[in-house]
Amino acid sequence: MKKVLIPTKLDSIAAETLEANGNYSVLQDPSTPIADLAAAHPDAYAMIVRSEKVTPEIMDAIPSLKVVVRAGAGYDNIDTKAARKRGIDVMNTPGANANAVAEEVIALILANARHIVAADISTRAGKWEKNKFMGTELTGKTVGIVGLGNIGRLVAKRLAGFECSILGYDPLVPAERAAQFGIKSASMETIFRECDYITLHIPENNETRGCVNAHMLALMKPGATLVNCARAGIVVEDDIRAAKAEKGIHYLNDVYPKDAEGVKPVADIADIMMPHLGASTREANETAARRAAEQIVDFDEKGVTSFIVNRDIPLGLDPSYCDLACTLAALARGILGKSIAINRIETSFYGHLAPYGRWLMLSLLSGIWDDIDRSTDYDLAMKWLADNGVVYVNREIDPDKHYDNSMTIDMFGVNEKKEVVKSSVRGTVGEHLKMIARINEFDRLYWVPTSEALFLEYKDRPGVIGVIGHRLAEAGINIEDMRNPHNPTTGRSLAILSVNKPIGQALLKSISEEIEANIAHSVTLP
């Protein structure tokens, strides 16, 4: 019998599923601290948790521990690196709460549109304020969905019965794929300008943090509604405060910088606020619990590793090449254009990297999509690409090219003019440093990428670099490294500049117009 600890309030289906298998004994105890349970059960084989922290100390107290499953998508509460060092596989149950969050969005919109909360309080107090609570209808309105992952798509599906026009923004989802869900692809600016309701479903990272700011909010219709059930950091709360005062926008919120008791910073601007209840449904809890138990059984009986999030890099593969694949992909993505949806990716892995294409592909995809982690199962990643309308091809290599231990990534998409566009990069690792050898037509670059980089392609002529340097200096941005190759055949030059701080879009646009660049991108690299 393998002992499984469940130190949390979790639907009983998890324990029932495991015990029905006959190979597991389950101890579920949400009242005893996890550290005490660990100390009392050093023979436990597996553990299922929700928000409980699984630290190295907890792992050391259970020397027989082999599997930890987070009943939910995020797993920041588990020290995955410490688990890997101890031979412990960590899993999660992604997608278990997607429907719950989607339904919460609809509930918030309807509750606000019909003044459900305020009207209930008023009526319970004996008042009869029908005129005060005149509402609006969702039917026929235009709804914008920012982020078209599982939750965003389910929101669109749930809205179908309201006969809404649905606009969606997700630069990683092709327009043809979005249309399959009844969504018309649009820019983020268009969504904020035209929609009556806007709901956010994007992760918080360096690119999205603070993306809902004064600029975006200024585009909103007076009285329009913004819903945030994603992450607190993607909105600038002070800007919402100003927009609310000026335009009377509505703000519905379920996320905070920290999930804990205490006064919330959006209390004065949120028309409705809830304590992060997105995943708090009996059905979502049951689904996560059942999947957690089934994954333990499938792992033991069938060797299914699809949901392990801390897998090792295979023997023989230098981890620096995984980092290189991630960086090259982020670079190719940035040069292609962040607003362009990717529909095809082609790779070539040369030299001793060729046998590790499946592993390197996962690192590559993690540099483009937050939904794919480097430790994601290959088959699961391929299904994710297919579901998002992206074709992936790992090409047969040409040994005559002699690109020893190098990799090439070609990325394709369609721009607003319906033209096929492509970016192509090649790189390798030398002296323990990532090195970019080629970008598009420009070869032999030998550029060591840094976190912040600027790429400008323009018609070759004297004085352009001086203009770029002057404009950056005016903005207090220092150039730390530079490459400036020329192509005499096409008459084009490429300026690659490593800089010490991010370059805003306004400055990038200004420089691009001044030098008449045909390509201008600012990229933050992993």
Q: What is the mean pLDDT of the segment spanning 133-148?
A: 96
Is there a single domain that holds both residue 143 and residue 261?
A: yes
Residue 366 lies in a domain: yes
| 59 closest CA partner among 85, 93, 27 | 85
- pLDDT digit string, tens, across residues 165-174: 999 999 878 8
**Looking at the structure, do residues 473 and 457 belong to the same domain, yes or no?**
yes
Q: What digits encode the pLDDT tens for the residues 275-287? A: 999 888 999 999 9
In three-state secondary structure terms, 520 is strand
Indicate if the pLDDT at residue 295 is higher than 90.
yes
Tell me which long-range contacts 394-403 makes (C-beta under 8 A, separation of at least 24).
394/346, 394/347, 394/348, 394/349, 394/357, 394/361, 395/346, 395/347, 395/348, 397/348, 397/349, 397/350, 397/354, 401/350, 403/348, 403/350, 403/351, 403/428
CA distance 44 to 48: 11
Say which amino acid occupies 87.
G
Average pLDDT over residues 471-479: 93
Q: What is the mean pLDDT of residues 65-77?
A: 88
pLDDT at 122 over 70: yes
Which of residues 434, 449, 464 is at a domain's end?
449
Paired tokens of 504: 């805003």
pLDDT in tens, 190-215: 999 999 999 999 888 777 899 999 99
Residues 248 and 350 in one domain: no
Domain that holds residue 503: 451-526
pLDDT of residue 451: 84
Whether 307 is in a domain gets the answer no
Record the pTM: 0.71
Identify whether the C-beta of residue 434 lies closer than 8 Å to the C-beta of residue 319. Answer: no
522, 487: one domain: yes
With a pLDDT cut of 70, the percent of the chain lying above it is: 99
* pLDDT the model gives residue 30: 93
Are residues 343 and 326 in contact, defined by beta-carbon separation less than 8 angstroms?
no
Same-domain pairing of 445 and 480 = no
pLDDT (mean) for 97-105? 93
- How far is residue 36's CA from residue 222's CA, in Å, rounded to a whole number? 55
Number of domains in the chain: 4
Instruction: Provide the mean pLDDT of the chain.
Output: 91
User: What is the chain's alpha carbon radius of gyration, rounded to the nearest angstrom?
Assistant: 26
Q: Is 420 part of a structural domain of the chain?
A: yes
What number is the average pLDDT over the span 409-417? Answer: 89
Task: Looking at the structure, tell me whether residues 109 and 227 fall in a common domain.
Answer: yes
Residue 29 has pLDDT above 90, yes or no: yes
Residue 96 has pLDDT above 90, yes or no: no
Q: Which residues pair with 521 in a beta bridge?
A: 455
Please check whether residues 293 and 406 belong to one and the same domain: no
Task: Say what the pLDDT of residue 375 is.
Answer: 67
- Beta bridge partners, 411, equal 345, 423
For position 48, what pLDDT does the model report?
Answer: 97
Q: Which parts of 299-432 are beta strand (E)?
A: 342-349, 391-394, 406-414, 420-430
Q: Name, in order, each residue with C-beta under 8 angstroms of 204's C-beta and a sequence gap of 6 or more.
A: 230, 231, 232, 233, 234
Same domain, 107 and 55: no
Task: Quote the CA–CA distance of 300 and 303 in Å, as a whole number.
Answer: 6
The size of the chain, in residues, is: 526
Instruction: Provide the CATH number for the domain around residue 189.
Output: 3.40.50.720
Of 384, 419, 449, the residue at which a domain comes to its end is 449
Whether 168 and 113 map to the same domain: the answer is yes
pLDDT at 6 over 90: yes
Q: Are 498 and 451 a contacting pair, CB within 8 Å? A: no
Residue 64 resides in a domain: yes
What confidence score (pLDDT) does residue 205 get? 79
User: 519 pairs with which residues across the strands?
Assistant: 457
Pair (158, 266) in one structural domain: yes
Mean pLDDT of 492-502: 91
Closest CA to 169 of 158, 161, 160, 155: 155
Confidence of residue 312 (pLDDT cuts 50, 70, 90): low
- Decide if 308 is inside a domain: no
Specify the CATH number for the domain of residue 391.
Answer: 3.30.1330.90
In a domain, 36, yes or no: yes
Question: Which of 449, 471, 501 is at the close of a domain?
Answer: 449
- pLDDT category at 176 given cuts 50, 70, 90 is confident
Whether 18 and 85 map to the same domain: the answer is: yes
Residue 25 pLDDT: 96
pLDDT at res. 315: 65
Kindly report, residue by residue over 233-259, the tens digit of the pLDDT: 999 999 999 999 999 999 999 999 887
CATH number, domain containing residue 516: 3.30.70.260
Contact predicate 197/228, CB 8 Å:
no
Domain contains 124: yes
- Tell me what percent of the residues of the chain surpass a pLDDT of 90: 65
CB-neighbour burial class of residue 342 (10 A; exposed 0-12, middle 13-18, buried 19+): buried
**Strand 89-92 relative to strand 142-146: parallel, antiparallel, unpaired?**
unpaired
Contact 433, 324 (CB under 8 A): no
What's the pLDDT score for residue 324?
92
Nearest to 119 by CA among 199, 110, 254, 138: 110
445 and 456 both lie in a single domain: no
